[in-house]
Amino acid sequence: MDKRLTLKIDKIVEETTNIKTFTFKHKLDAKPGQFIMLTDFEGGEKPFSISNCTKAKFSITVKKIGDFTTRLFNKCVGDYVSIRGAFGSSFFISKNKVLLVGGGYAVPTLYFLAKVLLKAGAHVTLINGARTKSEHIFADRFKKLHIDVINSTDDDSFGEKGTSVDVARKLLGLRPKLGNQKHDFDFIYASGPEMMMKALQDVIGEIDYEFLFERYMKCGIGICGGCTMDPLGVRLCVEGPVLSKKKVEQLTEFGKYHRDASGKRITF
């Protein structure tokens, strides 16, 4: 819904030196994959995925990357921010054997998804990847869900060596197999850097999937056209950020370019 809400920060967890989780005491009507638009009243409003949502609280997990997120990092428990949402499409909830593939700060939204999938009766396997151990997040929380988890780091400092996609390739049996096991999944979900999802698309084969996309967003409600993807013109803030395999396969800009605030194309 597009109603603006001013909320007090209830809890802050420092996940790494540049990633924090902010929790708010508010019953948000949200589904896994959806996002909120958040402002700190000091300039700008930015999209953030929902990393957890219960009957009484919800959380976002934020990477400090520029001016806005640095200001957010300086907030304390009891400070106020203002939000709109939840917005956008959500992940399909399967009841079958599913694989979740995540990378970096985009992994936490898969935590919210994993909880809902488990409730629906799905068998969940997660690949939780990061570049290095100090950037690897949510391992403790996923462990408590009692799902099958494979942690990985590009530099071999934690879990399996390699990217999330390297691990997925082994798991899906297209390369030398992990522990000599070939896994069959009914559905794959991914949330991470776009080039990770582009590489993942090549190893998925015939399995159905959904990917969560991030594009520059301004209005968050489908008016400005800033977040559309070529050539379908899908507005990621309304028809996305979660897109089906059918839509992803038609996107000519996927893994090639995105747009900045002015609409100028930026090559990946």
Give the binding site for ligand FES (CB under 6 A). 217-220, 222-227, 235, 237
Beta strands 148-153 and 160-161, pairing class: parallel
Which residue, 136 or 235, has its beta carbon nearer to ligand FES?
235
Q: Residue 49 touches which of ligand FAD, ligand FES, none (CB < 5 to 8 A by kind)? A: ligand FAD
Determine the 3-state secondary structure of 25 from DSSP.
Answer: coil
By a kind-dependent CB cut-off of 5 to 8 A, residue 235 interacts, out of ligand FAD, ligand FES, none, with ligand FES
Question: Which residue lies nearer to ligand FES by CB, 106 or 227?
Answer: 227
Residue among 47 and 129 whose Cβ is closer to ligand FAD: 47
217 is a site residue for ligand FAD (CB under 6 A)? yes
220 binds, among ligand FES, ligand FAD, none (CB under 5 to 8 A by kind): ligand FES
| Residue 224 contact partner, candidates ligand FAD, ligand FES, none, CB within 5 to 8 A by sort of partner | ligand FES
| Rounded Cα gap, residues 194 and 182, in angstroms | 26
The closest alpha carbon to 17, from 81, 53, 87, 65, belongs to 65
Nearest to ligand FES of 192, 220 (CB atom): 220
Q: x-or-dash pattern for ligand FAD, window 43-72, by CB under 6 A? A: ---xxxx----------xxxx-xxxxx---
If DSSP codes are grouped into helix, strand and coil, which group holds residue 52?
Answer: strand
Q: Determine which helix (DSSP H) or strand (DSSP E) holds 149, and give its type and residue range.
A: strand 148-153
- Determine if 195 is a binding residue for ligand FAD (CB under 6 A): no
Write the binding mask 139 to 178 for ligand FAD: x where contact by CB under 6 A, - elsewhere.
----------------------------------------
Check residue 191 and give left, alpha or beta (phi > 0: left; psi -120 to 50: alpha): beta
- Cα–Cα nearest to 169, from 160, 180, 177: 177
Distances (CA, A) of 112 to 2, 97, 244, 250, 253: 22, 17, 19, 28, 28
Choosing among ligand FES, ligand FAD, none, which partner's interface includes residue 136 (Cβ < 5 to 8 Å by kind)?
A: none
Residue 30 identity (one-letter amino acid): A
